[in-house]
């Protein structure tokens, strides 16, 4: 549909056949052929293309009727934009307001025509408009395909898409990290989640390079922010345990607890990506008893499972770091982590299976597909690093439990049996004293 253009203050009107002294014959390869009645004075003033075609220096200027008819060829898709451009020749642009362009797509089409016909005033006006207004996603893609072909005169349109210097990126990143780890009020959870997503995106390496390459300074700042988050979480746990009152799963305390756990899960992902998990791992292991005790204060409901699953997701990342050796902990702390989280994982998995079997459509708990396999693998890896006596203790509890199916510690059991059986021969100890010390 041909856009409507406001016509103001011009010596003569577009399409006024009675006063026209030149016809612009607008044609397409598809056979469209329109005759538009114009005025040479306007055309020469607004367009270098028409100024050249209507000048005495044009090679065919002496041919009869050549100066009274100028042919312009264009694509069918740009036909209406050329007509709109010719209408704009008769408009006093500066006094016509910003509604002259009737949207981004229309302005972009007129800009293409204006560049083709060398119309500097209208090119400038189009560029100023496109640079200032918001774009839809499809409009942005069209602009990206069109503007770079138009030369330097149109490049200001792309200013919002230009690469940002690393100093500015760093400041945005650090400000966002401080915000999302500052435990903002609950009514800002939506803003916080959005900022967390963008922080992850900034560090992701996909088809494009990461927006920010984290150096030691970035890691140090993120580490400090995570440590402050962990301190506040620990304070919350202690306050809940001191209160010793049951936590209503619909109450404010529960909401705050969930918010902290969500923040810590995000922090664990970020810390893993930046290879700064040590502080979080140590804090989580040392606070494991508190976390479990707090969940025991929550009134048991299917909704509480969501909290426990979130706890398991954080624990999985922590135990992965310990089991892979990325964070080194002494044997007693590794054993403590197993004793706390192995039975807890078993209980949570069993509860989830019971919920699934109940066909309760009103309550659904979303979990990562690899959560419990990841935990099982971490349990086995940590088991294999413990002194053989500690392994025997864990295996005894596991073999005597009714829920022996999860976690499956068969691999650790086999390794323990083999190592224990060949220990004397492998270590070359004749009197067996060393082996006895290892099993104490």
Cα gap 53→321, rounded to integer Å: 75
pLDDT at 430: 46
Name every residue whose Cβ is closer than 8 Å to that of residue 179 and which is 6 or more positions away in sequence. 192, 195
Name every residue whose Cβ is closer than 8 Å to that of residue 175 and which is 6 or more positions away in sequence. none
Note the Cα 291 to chain centre separation in Å. Answer: 30
In tens, the pLDDT along 259-281 reads 999 999 999 999 999 999 999 99
DSSP string, 15-72: T-TTT--EEEEEE-TTS-EEEEEE-HHHHHHH-HHHHHHTSTTSTTTTSTTTTTEEEE
Domains delineated in the chain: 22-161 (3.30.710.10), 214-438 (no CATH)
pLDDT at 231: 94
Task: Report the SS3 class of residue 409.
Answer: coil
Token pair of 237 as six digits: 């746990």
Q: What share of the chain is helix, strand, coil (3-state, %, to 5)?
A: 65, 5, 30
pLDDT at 355: 80
Residues of the chain with confidence (pLDDT) below 50: 1-10, 64, 430, 435
pLDDT at 24: 92
Give me the residue label for tokens 């054993």.
335
Cα-based torsion angle of the residue sequence 367, 372, 377, 378 in order, rounded to the nearest 10 degrees: 70
43, 79, 85 from 117: Cα distances, Å: 10, 13, 9
The answer to whether 157 and 184 are in contact (CB under 8 A) is no
pLDDT at 5: 47
Cα gap 31→273, rounded to integer Å: 60
Cα gap 182→267, rounded to integer Å: 12
pLDDT at 63: 53
The answer to whether 29 and 23 are in contact (CB under 8 A) is no
Task: Report the SS3 class of residue 73.
Answer: strand
In tens, the pLDDT along 38-73 reads 999 999 999 999 998 888 777 655 554 556 888 899
Question: Count H helices, E strands: the chain?
Answer: 18, 3
Cα-based torsion angle of the residue sequence 258, 263, 265, 270 in order, rounded to the nearest 10 degrees: 170
Mutual orientation of helices 304-324 and 278-286 as an angle, nearest 10°? 120
40, 316, 407 from 92: Cα distances, Å: 17, 68, 79
122, 155, 166, 236, 415 from 134: Cα distances, Å: 20, 16, 25, 44, 64
Residues, the chain:
440
| Buried-exposed string 18-48: b where 16+ CB fall within 10 A, e elsewhere | eebebbbebebeeeeeeebbbbbebbbebbe
User: How many CA atoms, within 13 angstroms, populate the side-chain half-sphere of residue 206?
Assistant: 6
Task: Report the SS3 class of residue 247.
Answer: strand
Dihedral sign for Cα 274, 275, 278, 281, please: positive
Instruction: Give the residue among 213, 236, 209, 342 at the shortest CA–CA distance from 290.
Output: 236
pLDDT at 266: 95
Task: Report the SS3 class of residue 298.
Answer: strand
The answer to whether 263 and 180 are in contact (CB under 8 A) is yes
Name every residue whose Cβ is closer than 8 Å to that of residue 259 and which is 6 or more positions away in sequence. 183, 186, 189
């Amino acid at each position: 549909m041909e856009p409507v253009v406001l016509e103001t203050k011009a010596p003569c009107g577009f399409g006024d056949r009675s006063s026209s002294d030149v016809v612009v014959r607008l044609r397409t390869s598809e056979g469209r052929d329109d005759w538009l009645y114009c005025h040479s004075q306007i055309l020469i003033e607004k367009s270098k293309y028409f100024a050249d075609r209507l000048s005495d220096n044009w090679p065919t200027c002496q041919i009869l009727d050549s100066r009274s008819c100028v042919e312009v060829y264009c694509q069918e898709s740009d036909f209406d934009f050329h007509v709109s451009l010719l209408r704009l020749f008769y408009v006093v642009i500066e006094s016509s307001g910003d509604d002259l362009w009737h949207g981004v797509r229309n302005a972009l089409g007129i800009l293409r025509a204006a560049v083709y016909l060398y119309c500097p005033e209208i090119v400038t006006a189009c560029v100023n408009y496109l640079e200032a207004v918001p774009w839809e996603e499809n409009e942005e893609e069209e602009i990206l395909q069109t503007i770079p072909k138009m030369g330097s005169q149109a490049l200001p349109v792309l200013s919002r898409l230009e690469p940002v210097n690393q100093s500015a990126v760093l400041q945005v990143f650090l400000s966002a990290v401080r915000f999302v780890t500052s435990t903002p009020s609950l009514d800002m959870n939506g803003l916080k989640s959005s900022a967390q997503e963008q922080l992850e995106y900034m560090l992701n390496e996909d088809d494009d390079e990461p927006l920010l390459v984290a150096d030691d300074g970035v890691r140090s700042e993120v580490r400090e922010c995570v440590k402050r988050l962990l301190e506040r979480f620990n304070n919350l746990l202690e306050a809940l345990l001191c209160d010793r009152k049951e936590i209503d799963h619909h109450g404010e305390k529960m909401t705050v607890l969930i918010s902290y756990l969500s923040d810590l899960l995000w922090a664990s992902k970020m810390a893993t990506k930046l290879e700064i998990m040590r502080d979080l791992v140590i804090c989580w292991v040392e606070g494991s008893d508190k976390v479990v005790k707090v969940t025991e204060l929550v009134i048991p409901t299917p909704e509480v499972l969501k909290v426990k699953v979130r706890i398991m997701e954080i624990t999985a990342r922590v135990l992965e770091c310990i089991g892979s050796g990325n964070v080194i902990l002494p044997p007693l702390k590794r054993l403590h982590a197993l004793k706390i989280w192995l039975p807890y994982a078993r209980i949570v998995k069993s509860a989830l299976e019971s919920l699934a079997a109940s066909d309760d459509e009103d309550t659904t708990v979303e979990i990562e597909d690899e959560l419990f396999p990841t935990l099982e693998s971490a349990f086995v890896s940590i088991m294999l690093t413990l002194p053989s006596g500690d392994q025997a203790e864990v295996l005894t509890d596991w073999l005597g439990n009714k829920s022996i199916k999860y976690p499956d510690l068969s691999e650790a059991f086999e390794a323990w049996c083999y190592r224990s059986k060949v220990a004397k021969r492998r270590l070359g100890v004749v009197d067996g004293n060393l082996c006895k010390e290892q099993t104490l």
